[in-house]
Amino acid sequence: MVVLLTTVGVLGHHYGSEGHIRRKLGQPPLAKASCFYCHFVSTTRLAWAQPRPHHDSPAGLAVSPDGKRLFIALDDRDEVAEADIGSRRVLRRAKVPGGPYGLALGPEGKRLFVTCRRGDRLAVLDAETLKQTDSLPVGTGPTAVAFCRTAAGERLIVANSMSDDISVISLAPLKELGRPVAGREPFAVAATSDGARAFVANRMVGLSSVKTVPASEVTVVDPATARVVRRDTLESAHLSEGVGLDEKRCWALTPLVKVRNMVPITQVAGGWVMSSGLAISDTKRGGIVQMPLDEANDFFADPSGVAVDPAGHRAFVASGGADVVSAVDLDRLAAWLGKADATERQEAICDLSLSAEYVVARIPTARNPRELVLSPDGATLLVAERLADSVLVVDANRLAPLGRIVLGDGGMEDPIRRGERVFTTAAYTFQHQFSCRSCHPDGHVDGLSYDFDGDGIGDNLLDNRSLLGVAGTGPFKWNGKNPTLEVQCGPRFARVLMRTEPFPPKQLRDLTTFIRSLPPPRAARNQDAKLTPSQERGRAIFFATRTPDGREIPLARRCVTCHPPPLYSVRLPFNIGTRGEHDTTEAFDTPHLLGVADTAPYLHDGRAQSLEELWTLYNPNDLHGVSSYMNKIQLNDLVEFLKTL
Amino acid sequence: MKDEPPFAWALSLLVLAAPALGLKAAPAAPDLPFPLIERFENFTMKDGLPSHKVHCVLSASDGKLWVGTYQGVLVREEGKFRKIGTEDGLSHPVIMCLAEDSRSGDVWIGTMRGLNRYSAGRITTYTQTSSGLPNNVVYGLDVVGGSLWVATAAGLGVLDLKTGSWSIFDQSNTVMHEPWVYAVKGAGDRVFVGVWGGGILEYEFSTAVFKEHRDPDRDFHFDLVPDDGPINDITAWIAWDDGILWQATYFGMSRYDGLRWRTWQEKKSPLLSNFLNFIWARGRVAWVGTDRGVSVTDGDTWVNYRTSPQGQGLVEIARPGQPPQTRTMPTHLANDFVLGITADQREAWFATSDGLSHATFAQAQK
């Protein structure tokens, strides 16, 4: 045994030594590596590839016209449930494959429209039987649907969160009329009762230079013609997951996170980094005022769904990170806006004391309230408590909870579910300003670059990285200094970001378990489908050892040397010639490429807005792979292959 | 605003002398197979245009007119022009071409440096460095089905509007003789591609194959055998409608009905000039922008609009088997060097090297 261990140790030392790694990489390693960086790597053994428990997490909600029945989308179960609101009992469930997420009912209450987020389709159910009567492919990742009746016929408006577009669908016959482009990650939709306009809230900011103020948009669609008629800009704001209409005042209400990513994130203590708000857009003319929902010393993180009562007196906003529904008195809000001049309106979002003027109640909920809906008469508010597997029933007049519709047991035996609860709560951050989810919606990425260093405002931004598929890709951070997720999310994170005590050990363990369970972003290509000729050619370029004219590509500058499958990362830092003037190092972590097409912008500071720019603009010396020989067709082929990972 | 002739006195003399010169005033409604222009209204820098040169015009499905100039885009809505320039996010001020996606209403804007998508006020830019666009010099555009076809100085790009994927076709993977693609036009189940120096390519969707149409005599300056194919390989522009393809070259004009070619040159036909910048097809009629004015023809009957050396607007009508007629007009094109045209049953717009012209038609047409 001693001999064996000694032999293994000697061989390990020899082959795991710098010399061995240099031979493998064609350059000296800039950090220490173990045998497991290159050997025995398998995605099938990673946490996200393992079966996991499923939960009764409520997503979209819809109330029947008589206000008695509630339909609940259970995307994690591939089910739609029907509940009796009065008795708060679940009446039945029906299988709807593809991750049913967004719901809408036809006006007569007989047809239930369901967006299937994973299945990229719209399902039509008979609301009486919950049987599927029709189905239609839509864009990728549909999260929300709204019904409206126009002069040209009945319409459905579907927000396709992953393909960044909107499916406008006619019902007779069931057919997609058009798919206009939305903003980035359209997530919620509401249509006016006359069918003249639909409003689509987009979750992410548009791509732009990292040193410009980011902005997201509310996309305004004409349902009759399937055309976008206006794009209302939400400046310095993002993560809008809901939209509601006050038709009396011609208002569209969109919850938002006011983000200030270009101030040093160490300014959390000053309340400078992010706050919650409600955008009020004029549905006719498009002017927007952003109003705060937070209080000066207490924040209500991750605003999500919004519901407006039919009389236009109140709006309700779910704060997923704070476990609260805020009740906004729209009459008082309108009165304040009526008195405010243009400057006061412009600066309102920064004055957190203002919320006292119109937020009349904070209704506590169970974990992670997201979607909410009012009964047609406005008397009952229903709140999807996503991570508690329940729906809270609230008397909307008295602002008092009446009880719960229990869908599941909350999943507290499941460490992944417990970890998601930690991930989505703002309880651990200073003044409850944000949760992990505030920068990593659904574990993904908000598309922003943040100023993490104390070297001046906006001088040294770092691209936010997706947490999807990070299991097994450590070390972490762009400088590769955090060996594990436990370190990444541990005490230093608390000091720099949370400005509070670190996560307790058990919560930290659950949190990292949840993060490891997150699979990579869904690739554009169906994993079972064959590569197209272009993707095949791109694959050959990715794995090439020689240029097309026969010259050998140096080992250190082959794509596959630093990005070997199955993770497409060797997990070591390299100098690829991207050091910026404020960077303290020239070596940056090698990101994995699983789902890379869905993680723009690129490079450590987010300077590359597209995959193409990695090589057309930011690889002048062929340090980030030898790309200078490629013509545009070859580069396009390479990009098409990367999109399949 | 009215266009003032530069020499009013000369115009007065010409009008007075017109009967003696054999010129007649333009008829209100002659019996023609296409509309006859009654008058022009011109817009120049004096009227607020941002540049002398107007390169292209697009009549959008929502009634707006889009005008591509040397200094940005103008959008005419309810009689007023609004400018969109680099300050609004356009990739370059020099606009080369415009195309509308009629389903979404988005307008694609090709410039001397990059491609832009204008979608309800938002401009998204595609360049050869930020996207799969083959080259930044974008000469022509057309939305065909769910794809945008882009004619560039380094090949043909095709953007799948649903997936965002680009394909490139050039001399390395097609029969394309040269990479300089000047024009592209969807034609139902196929796409025609005008190549500068390479004639015309025909791409059939069912076979995914490019077929080449070249000038059989391959001579730059002489068309040795008429009607034997494209008149020249130097394709400046192409147009297609109702089963008819039209080719504009600097050496004459061609028409292709899928079986037969016909060719025209100025010395053997009423065509105003061999130097064709642009061609616009509506039904079986071609509107031809030349360096000497506009020719309109169905291949048999011709009407030319040009300006006399004295600054007088002239209409020349040539019918088969009838002597040509030349008549005067009260107005004329902003400039006879015509770079772009859009025309329907009600009106026509002309992009010229010195202003934009709006043409209204005589009331009755055949």
pLDDT at A137: 98
Give the tens place of pLDDT for each residue, A100-110. 999 999 999 99
pLDDT at A457: 66
pLDDT at A15: 54
Extract the tokens encoding A574: 């390299």
Contact call for residues B172 and B154 (beta carbons, < 8 A): no
Burial-class residue B217 by CB neighbours within 10 Å (0-12, 13-18, 19+). middle
Q: What is the DSSP letter of A609?
A: S
CB contact under 8 A, B165 and A640: yes
- C-alpha B156/C-alpha B139 separation (Å) is 10
pLDDT at B219: 81
Rounded mean pLDDT of A258-278? 84
Identity of the residue numbered B124: T
Contact call for residues A156 and A120 (beta carbons, < 8 A): no
CB contact under 8 A, A228 and B120: yes
CB contact under 8 A, A228 and B128: no
Alpha-helical runs (H) found in A222-355: 330-339, 342-347
Locate the chain A residue with the closest alpha carbon to B133: A632
Contact call for residues A328 and A317 (beta carbons, < 8 A): yes
pLDDT at A497: 81
Specify if B347 maps to a domain.
yes
Identity of the residue numbered A325: V
Which domains, and CATH codes, for chain A?
61-415 (2.130.10.10), 523-645 (1.10.760.10)
- In this complex, which of B105, B129, B135 lies closest to A616 when CB atoms are compared? B129
Specify if B168 maps to a domain.
yes
Q: In A, which residues are within 8 Å of B106 by CB distance? A: 180-181
Residue with tokens 């394709």: B235
Q: What is the DSSP letter of A537?
A: H
Specify if B144 maps to a domain.
yes
Specify if B68 maps to a domain.
yes
CB contact under 8 A, A181 and B132: no
- C-alpha A64/C-alpha A568 separation (Å) is 49
User: Based on the structure, what is the number of domains in chain B?
Assistant: 1
Specify if B1 maps to a domain.
no
What CATH number should be reported for the domain holding residue B64? Answer: 2.130.10.10
* 3-state class (DSSP) for residue A91: strand
Shortest Cα distance from B120 to chain A (angstroms)? 5
Q: In A, which residues are within 8 Å of B155 by CB distance? A: 632
CB contact under 8 A, B121 and A610: no
For residue A156, name the pLDDT band (cuts at 50, 70, 90): very high
pLDDT at A286: 86
Tell me the pLDDT of chain B (366 aa) as tens digits. 344 434 344 444 444 454 444 455 544 446 899 999 999 999 999 999 999 999 999 999 999 999 999 999 999 999 999 999 999 999 999 999 999 999 999 999 999 999 999 999 999 999 999 999 999 999 999 999 999 999 999 999 999 999 999 999 999 999 998 899 999 999 999 999 999 999 999 999 999 999 999 999 888 778 888 999 999 999 999 999 999 999 999 999 999 999 999 999 999 999 999 999 999 999 999 999 999 999 999 999 999 999 999 999 999 999 999 999 999 999 999 999 999 999 999 999 999 999 999 999 997 444
Residue A337 gets the label, from left (phi > 0), alpha (psi -120 to 50) or beta, of alpha
Give the tens place of pLDDT for each residue, A68-98. 999 999 999 999 999 999 999 999 999 999 9
Provide the residue range defining the domain that includes B43: 8-361
Specify if B2 maps to a domain.
no
Interface of B with A (CB under 8 A): 103-106, 117, 119-122, 124, 128-132, 134-135, 154-155, 162-163, 165-168, 170, 172-173
Locate the chain B residue with the closest alpha carbon to A181: B119
Residue A37 in this model has a pLDDT that exceeds 90 = no
Q: In B, which residues are within 8 Å of A181 by CB distance? A: 104, 106, 117, 119, 124
Residue A40 in this model has a pLDDT that exceeds 90 = no
Instruction: Give which of A443, A454, A448, A428 is closest to A485, Cα–Cα.
Output: A443
CB contact under 8 A, B168 and A534: no
Express as a percent the part of chain A with pLDDT over 70.
Answer: 96
Locate the chain A residue with the closest alpha carbon to B129: A616
Specify if B35 maps to a domain.
yes
Between A642 and A16, name the one with better pLDDT. A642
Residue A9 in this model has a pLDDT that exceeds 60 = yes
Q: In A, which residues are within 8 Å of B122 by CB distance? A: 206, 217, 231
pLDDT at A155: 98
Identity of the residue numbered A479: N
Q: What is the DSSP letter of A487?
A: H
The mean of the pLDDT values for chain A is 93
**Residue B344 CB coordination number (10 Å):** 11
- C-alpha A48/C-alpha A52 separation (Å) is 8
Q: In B, which residues are within 8 Å of A285 by CB distance? A: none
Which of B123, B130, B159, B170 is the best substitution to test chain A (most A C-beta atoms within 10 A)?
B130
Identity of the residue numbered A565: P
3-state secondary structure A53-69: CCCCCCCCEEECCCCCE
Highest mean pLDDT among A36-45, A494-503, A581-590: A581-590
Q: In A, which residues are within 8 Å of B130 by CB distance? A: 609-610, 612-613, 616-617
Contact call for residues A362 and A326 (beta carbons, < 8 A): yes
pLDDT at A525: 59
Specify if B308 maps to a domain.
yes
pLDDT at B111: 98
Give the tens place of pLDDT for each residue, A211-254. 788 999 999 999 999 999 999 999 999 999 999 999 999 999 99
- In this complex, which of A179, A632, A643 lies closest to B168 when CB atoms are compared? A632
Residue with tokens 């064959």: A530
Burial-class residue A618 by CB neighbours within 10 Å (0-12, 13-18, 19+). middle
A vs B: CB pairs below 8 A: 74
Weakest mean pLDDT among A411-415, A450-454, B255-259: A450-454
Q: β-strands A314-319, B95-100: how paired?
A: unpaired
